[in-house]
Amino acid sequence: MTVKLPLRTYFQLPPELYEIMLGRRLKYSSCLWPEGVTDISEAEESMLELYAERAQVKDGSYFPQCRRLCTTSQTAPPTGGLSG
């Protein structure tokens, strides 16, 4: 067995599967489940907030790599997810 077979199989999964399995942010890495968090979308938000805190991201920070301005009013990506 080679490494290429599992990777190829992994990338053949339909985008709709991830829309079902993940929260509204479609965050594929770990989530944070502090007390009171009851669903995966909230757990995604908790982890993203922790990332921002640790990276000392402030409102108005600009990320040239992704050409994006950080604001606390940002919400989840537009509806339609991966396939829309």
Tens digits of residue pLDDT in 11-45: 677 888 888 888 888 888 889 999 999 999 999 99
CA-wise closest residue to 65 among 54, 55, 80: 55
Q: What integer pLDDT is reported at residue 39 of this predicted model?
A: 94
pLDDT given at position 60: 76
Give DSSP secondary structure letters for 3-52: SHHHHHHHHTS-HHHHHHHS-TT---S-----TT--SHHHHHHHHHHHHH
What's the pLDDT at 6?
Answer: 62
28: alpha, beta or left? (left if phi > 0; alpha if psi -120 to 50): alpha
At 29 the pLDDT is 85
Residue 46: predicted pLDDT: 94
Handedness of CA 72, 67, 63, 77 (dihedral sign): positive
Give the C-alpha separation, 57 to 14, whole Å.
34
Q: Per-residue confidence at 3, pLDDT binned at 50, 70, 90?
A: low
Task: Read off the pTM.
Answer: 0.60
pLDDT of residue 57: 82
